Amino acid sequence: MLSISLILSAIALLALSGVPALFASTRSSPANRPAFGAPGAGVQAVLTLLALALGVAGVILAWTGYNPLATWLPTSAAGGQALLADAEARLRLDWFLPWGQFHVAIDPLSAFFLLPAFFLPVLGSLYAIGDRRLAGFSQDSRLLPLFYGLLAAAIALVIIARDGALFLIAWELMALAGYFASLFGRDRERGRRAGWVYLVATHLGTLCLFLMFAIYYRVSGSFTLEAGGPVWAPGLATAVLLLATVGFGCKAGFFPLHVWLPDFYAEAPAHVSALLSGIMSKMGIYGLLRILMLVPVTAAWMGYLFLIIGATSAVWGIAMALGQRDLKRSLAYSSVENLGIIAMALGLATLGRALGRPDFTLIGLSAALFHTWNHGLFKSLLFFAAGAVDRSTGTRDTDQLGGLGKRLPLVMALFMVGAVAIAGLPPFNGFASEWLLYNGLFRTLGSDAAVATHFVALAAVALALVGAIAVACFVKLTAAVFLGEARAPAIAAAARPVRSVSMALAMGFAALACLALGLFPAWLAPVFERVGACWTGVAVTVPGLLRYVPLRWLTLAGAGFLLALLVPVAFIVGRKLVRPPVVAGTWDCGYARPEPRMQYTGTSFGRSIVSLLSFMLRPRLKAPRLKACFPERSSFASTLPDLIHDRLVLPFFQLIGREAPRFRVLQQGRTHLYVLYILIISVVLLVMGRIASK
């Protein structure tokens, strides 16, 4: 009871954290308000930090089951007795709506997702202080903190909701707050367009969820989302799971439901993108986990389905990310990749449940959960750094940037931490979670003759392919933005330095967390086991996660690598001190005047991999064709349009746009006719109900 009160007050704080910004004065110029530049951004950072403190306290109380009130209050008092009796982290209240009730609770699964949901908004609002100051002031930027706070609160509410109706309300609140928060990007026009696509997509997804909850209600007789419901007919269970896959998969951005995502994440303000990609997209994963917990899975095909969806999303996402010119679009596509990796892990866990292999279940679920946290951290870090670049130079086009490392050394160093982590390389956290997944996938090769799961291991080949492309993609982003020389010197010359303590703090915390989780993953093993027990409903037996996968060795390996690094670093630093290096121009094979334009751009760097994968990506080339002896001026352009968006989604909606106007006869803007429709339908429904009940 105490824990749930703490969590609810934390959520209320989050929701209200943007309100003070509404009353902040916008008249003062940036020059005379250096400390808390943006209106209300500083207040929001403080309030979200407070919410984090309350939330973490609540989560810890719920997790340990410890009730301080029981020790503080004398148990003889009647009130103390009542409190003791209600020690469970749960709150049920009836409300005004005809169905459902206000029912929230915290179990280990919720607790696990709550932590990043409280932590990431703190980083985001910290970052926003500096970001908003760089952006300058405008009237409506006062609204951004409001929607940002609402978004964070709605996400936390989704996680603790235990009632279908409340869940859908929170879900819709989250979708709308996300939409409004995304509108305050740099390019308002493009932001609106991207937001429109998102609104359509998210509502199509929510439609599936409505259907899913309708079936759920029909079978279980209530909207309560608690395990141990009635026996499910296989057909209905399948329908619920498929609808959940589409509905939640749309939010997570699984291929091919990702079409709304690249533009939406790219056009939103950086800290909103970080929250959207870092935790809102994970609500799709949370929802799937919750439904898989409630609806018993007995068929292995569900696991195979998730593995295939995950592998496809991962390969498609990272290949598309490599081909993008826009820095933030590239990061957005890499979200598709990472959510795909989580889906693969989820597939392994589901398969383990279906086949009765607790090791697959535990390892797969741990990998999915771990990668959820990790992706939230490094993707936030990368979006923050991308936002800093955007603010500094005014462009996100990687083919124009370059050489920013000398102007923004700290941003570059932190971006590289994020890049190495997201590429899944040791000793950072991305490696730890991918390593878990590899371990699980390799175990399917075992000689368990009863079920042939060898081909599940092929997912590891897909993961290796994804890993190799991810290295290429993030080398490309690092190099195209920060390394070498500026490709468009005018932009580089105009680049402003980013001297913001709050931005550096936000990125620094995320980077530290990436390193800490990469070096000490074994600390999380009991957490994964607890969530695993909650998810499967079976307590984890003696050979726990650490017996299956020796996570502790990663600590030794990471520390060993850092130690091994010391020797050559010390040697080079020593040599530099003894004999200072001669500084000269880059040796360009005898060219007299190397120019920045001669450098490899990000696009040319990624081109060979994109053309290797052109059978599925279909890059569009506009190459000059030689016609006469003396060719005229010509131009070359290569773009990588999203095939699903261009060939599937766009034609579909164009068709609807062409055909739907026929129904305008019904909707012509006369209110009394609409009232008539309502009356007619009510009468028809009443008559039908009467007939059916006879």
Partner 1 sequence: MIINLIVHFCLLILMPPLLLGIINKVKALFAGRRGPPLLQAYFDIGKLLRKGMVISRSTTWVFMAGPVVTLAAVFCAGTLIPLGRFAAPISFTGDLVLFAYLFGLARFFTTSAALDTGSAFEGMGAAREVTFAVLSEPALFLVFFVFVRLSGSLSLGEMLHLAPAGYVSGAVAPLVLVAIGLFIIMLAETCRIPVDDPNTHLELTMIHEVMVLDHSGPLLGIALYAAAMKLFVLSSLLLHVLQPFKSGLAWLDWLIFAGGMMVIAGTIGVVESVMARLRMNHVPHLLVAAIILCGAAFVLLVR
Q: Which of residues 464-483 bind partner 1 (CB under 8 A)?
A: 464-465, 467-469, 471-472, 474-475, 478-479, 482-483
What is the amino acid identity at position 38? A
3-state SS assignment for residue 589 = coil
Look at residues 206, 203, 226, 216 and name the one whose alpha carbon lies nearest to residue 92: 226
Can the peptide bond before residue 108 be classed as cis, meaning omega within 30 degrees of 0? Answer: no
Are 181 and 145 within 8 A, CB to CB? no
Look at residues 168, 199, 167 and name the one whose alpha carbon lies nearest to residue 181: 199
Compute the least distance from the CB of residue 428 to partner 1, in Å: 10
Compute the least distance from the CB of residue 480 to partner 1, in Å: 8
3-state SS assignment for residue 364 = helix
Contact flag: residue 442 with partner 1 (CB under 8 A):
yes
Contact flag: residue 593 with partner 1 (CB under 8 A):
no
User: Left, alpha or beta for 632 (phi > 0: left; psi -120 to 50: alpha)?
Assistant: beta
β-partners of residue 90 are 105
Compute the least distance from the CB of residue 463 to partner 1, in Å: 8
CA dihedral angle for residue 466, residue 387, residue 380, residue 321, rounded to 10 degrees: -10
Compute the least distance from the CB of residue 640 to partner 1, in Å: 16
Selected from 12, 82, 200, 461, the binder of partner 1 by CB under 8 A is 461
Question: What six digits make up the tokens of 106?
Answer: 């915290």
**Beta-carbon contacts of residue 353 (< 8 Å; ≥ 6 apart):** 292, 297, 303, 361, 536
Compute the least distance from the CB of residue 616 to partner 1, in Å: 13
Question: What six digits make up the tokens of 230?
Answer: 């009635």
In degrees and rounded to multiples of 5, residue 222 shows phi and psi of -150, 170
Selected from 494, 564, 676, 688, the binder of partner 1 by CB under 8 A is 564
Contact string 25-44 vs partner 1 (x = CB under 8 A): --------------------
Distance CA 196, CA 210 (A): 21
Distance CA 403, CA 397 (A): 13
Distance CA 374, CA 657 (A): 41
Look at residues 373, 367, 347 and name the one whose alpha carbon lies nearest to residue 436: 367
Contact flag: residue 443 with partner 1 (CB under 8 A):
yes
User: Which span (65-73, 455-463, 520-528, 631-639) binds partner 1, by CB under 8 A?
Assistant: 455-463
Question: What six digits make up the tokens of 270?
Answer: 């950086």
Contact flag: residue 588 with partner 1 (CB under 8 A):
yes
Compute the least distance from the CB of residue 273 to partner 1, in Å: 24
CB-nearer residue toward partner 1: 310 or 405: 405
Contact string 353-392 vs partner 1 (x = CB under 8 A): ----------------------------------------
CB-nearer residue toward partner 1: 63 or 438: 438
CB-nearer residue toward partner 1: 478 or 500: 478
Contact flag: residue 525 with partner 1 (CB under 8 A):
no
Look at residues 596, 555, 544 and name the one whose alpha carbon lies nearest to residue 365: 544
Selected from 18, 130, 376, 484, the binder of partner 1 by CB under 8 A is 484
Contact string 269-308 vs partner 1 (x = CB under 8 A): ----------------------------------------
User: Which span (120-128, 133-141, 371-379, 438-446) binds partner 1, by CB under 8 A?
Assistant: 438-446
Selected from 445, 501, 655, 660, the binder of partner 1 by CB under 8 A is 445
Compute the least distance from the CB of residue 335 to partner 1, in Å: 20
Contact flag: residue 587 with partner 1 (CB under 8 A):
yes
Compute the least distance from the CB of residue 691 to partner 1, in Å: 59
Compute the least distance from the CB of residue 571 to partner 1, in Å: 7
Can the peptide bond before residue 256 be classed as cis, meaning omega within 30 degrees of 0? Answer: yes
How buried is residue 369: exposed, middle or buried, by Cβ count under 10 Å (0-12/13-18/19+)? Answer: buried
CB-nearer residue toward partner 1: 267 or 434: 434
Cα 267–chain centre separation:
15
How buried is residue 170: exposed, middle or buried, by Cβ count under 10 Å (0-12/13-18/19+)? Answer: buried
Contact flag: residue 582 with partner 1 (CB under 8 A):
yes
Contact flag: residue 485 with partner 1 (CB under 8 A):
yes
Look at residues 595, 607, 135 and name the one whose alpha carbon lies nearest to residue 325: 607
Distance CA 70, CA 80 (A): 7
DSSP 144-205: HHHHHHHHHHHHHHHHHB-BHHHHHHHHHHHHHHHHHHHTTSS-HHHHHHHHHHHHHHHHHH
CB-nearer residue toward partner 1: 210 or 561: 561
Site for partner 1 in 406-425 (CB under 8 A): 406, 409, 412, 416, 419-420, 423-425
Distance CA 530, CA 289 (A): 14
Contact flag: residue 543 with partner 1 (CB under 8 A):
no
Compute the least distance from the CB of residue 405 to partner 1, in Å: 4
CB-nearer residue toward partner 1: 112 or 428: 428
CB-nearer residue toward partner 1: 377 or 475: 475
Contact string 176-215 vs partner 1 (x = CB under 8 A): ----------------------------------------
CB-nearer residue toward partner 1: 68 or 446: 446
Are 127 and 502 within 8 A, CB to CB? yes
Compute the least distance from the CB of residue 437 to partner 1, in Å: 9
Look at residues 191, 181, 126 and name the one whose alpha carbon lies nearest to residue 152: 181
User: Which span (50-58, 100-108, 172-180, 450-458) binds partner 1, by CB under 8 A?
Assistant: 450-458
Compute the least distance from the CB of residue 350 to partner 1, in Å: 22
Distance CA 220, CA 227 (A): 11
CB-nearer residue toward partner 1: 284 or 352: 352
Compute the least distance from the CB of residue 588 to partner 1, in Å: 5
Contact flag: residue 571 with partner 1 (CB under 8 A):
yes
Compute the least distance from the CB of residue 443 to partner 1, in Å: 7
Contact flag: residue 579 with partner 1 (CB under 8 A):
yes
CB-nearer residue toward partner 1: 279 or 554: 554
Contact flag: residue 493 with partner 1 (CB under 8 A):
no
Look-up of token digits 């609540």: 58
Neighbours of 648 (CB within 10 A): 13
3-state SS assignment for residue 262 = helix
Compute the least distance from the CB of residue 505 to partner 1, in Å: 22
Distance CA 377, CA 566 (A): 27
What is the amino acid identity at position 29? S
Compute the least distance from the CB of residue 562 to partner 1, in Å: 8
Contact string 597-636 vs partner 1 (x = CB under 8 A): -xxx---xxxxxx--x------------------------
